[in-house]
Amino acid sequence: MKAIKYHGPKDIELIELAKPTPGKGEALVKVVYCGICGTDIHAYKMGGIFDWELVLGHEAVGIVEEVGDEVECVKVGDRVAVGPPGDCGDCYSCNMGNPNTCPNAFPNTLGIGPGTQGAYSEYVLSKHPRNELFRIPDGVELRDAVLFDVLGVGFHSVRRSELRVGDSALVSGCGAIGLSVIQAARLAGANPVIAFATKAPKRELALACGADYAFDPARQEDLDAAGALLAHTGGAQVCFESAGNPDSIETCVKLCMPSGQIMMVGNDGRPYPLLTGALGPRQIDMKFSFTYTKEEILKLFDLIKCGRLDVSPYTRVEAPLAEAEAMLEKLAAGKINVARVLLMP
């Protein structure tokens, strides 16, 4: 079978691998779509993300083709999502209901962990199908279900926040993750939802996903306009930092109300100066959010199925596996402006 091997930044290769055979307790999935994640793009652009070789791909949907002995959670022919991060199910975090922070998850996650074989490939072998494979209900298209990773991150951050019905929400950064935050905040009853994005097309998408206002953080008049909308409380009650960069954090700090909350959804390696003398008197809470849980995937599929969650604003481009390198190059250079490129092995 064909697969894409990652050797390092700007160094990937289309290779041939033996088609896996599932053993006891394992399941083989024929990949239909695999999304190119922002993590993959960062790893392609720069070092320090993956310092090991692997077959990329951790946002996949497909069809169960074979199952090993003692597999009861899925059967041949089931449509499944492959993910989320491979929590162990045995550690303290897992047993306390926080599998997304399992310390053993990262090395076990297909397409992320050292030496793993992810879904930039024709087939992917799930060694832990009960933890990794989730049946997609009838009525949910595979092309929509593949967005589970994008949608899950924003969904989890809103569920983890202290947002209440009627609270104001500010979303800084309107990439795919920011759009999912906007939708989840709207579902949770936020009013108003104010979005910030530096590019006009992303501001338009933010409005299409349910934001009441969309501003440019580089324009002082836009910052002032947002401040005027939030004058009664002195800022937004909950700010969601979804871009993962210091400028975006600063936007949230400026526009968070005293005793408000900033949810750190984006992840970035650049330092941000945390000035306690400036933030302490305002008693701002900063809380971090990371990925999502297995149950949240199933909740998302139900919301899509019943029409409560509209995925049509998420623009997608489909490409064969052989074009993975070309697509990563374009995404890294900012030449493609879509929510997801979907590889089709």
Q: Mean of the pLDDT values across residues 271-276?
A: 82
User: Encoding tokens for residue 235?
Assistant: 């800022």
For residue 284, being part of any structural domain is answered with yes
User: Are residues 191 and 284 both part of a single domain?
Assistant: yes
Using alpha carbons, select from 100, 128, 96, 80 the residue that is nearest to residue 292: 100
Helix/strand/coil percentages in the chain, nearest 5:
30, 25, 45
User: Are residues 115 and 247 both part of a single domain?
Assistant: no
Does residue 264 surpass a pLDDT of 90? yes
pLDDT on residue 88: 78
Q: Mean of the pLDDT values across residues 17-23?
A: 96
User: Are residues 135 and 246 both part of a single domain?
Assistant: no
Does the model's pTM come out above 0.85?
yes
Q: CB within 8 A of 170, min separation 6: which ones?
A: 193, 194, 195, 196, 226, 230, 236, 238, 239, 240, 251, 252, 255, 256
Among the residues of the chain, which ranges form H helices? 38-45, 92-95, 105-108, 129-132, 142-145, 148-160, 176-187, 200-208, 220-229, 246-255, 276-279, 294-305, 324-332
pLDDT in tens, 208-249: 999 999 999 999 999 999 999 999 999 999 999 999 889 999
For residue 295, being part of any structural domain is answered with no
pLDDT on residue 228: 97
Q: Could you say which DSSP state residue 121 is in? A: B
For residue 321, being part of any structural domain is answered with yes
How many CB atoms within 10 Å of residue 186?
19
What CATH code is carried by the domain that includes residue 249?
3.40.50.720
**What percentage of residues in the chain have a pLDDT greater than 90?**
76
Q: Mean of the pLDDT values across residues 102-111?
A: 85
For residue 302, being part of any structural domain is answered with no
pLDDT on residue 85: 61
Q: Mean of the pLDDT values across residues 140-165?
A: 96
For residue 304, being part of any structural domain is answered with no
Does residue 131 surpass a pLDDT of 80? yes
pLDDT on residue 325: 96
For residue 6, being part of any structural domain is answered with yes
Does residue 283 surpass a pLDDT of 80? yes
- Counting the structural domains of the chain, the total is 2
Q: Which domain, by its residues, includes 269?
A: 154-288
Does residue 21 surpass a pLDDT of 70? yes
For residue 309, being part of any structural domain is answered with no
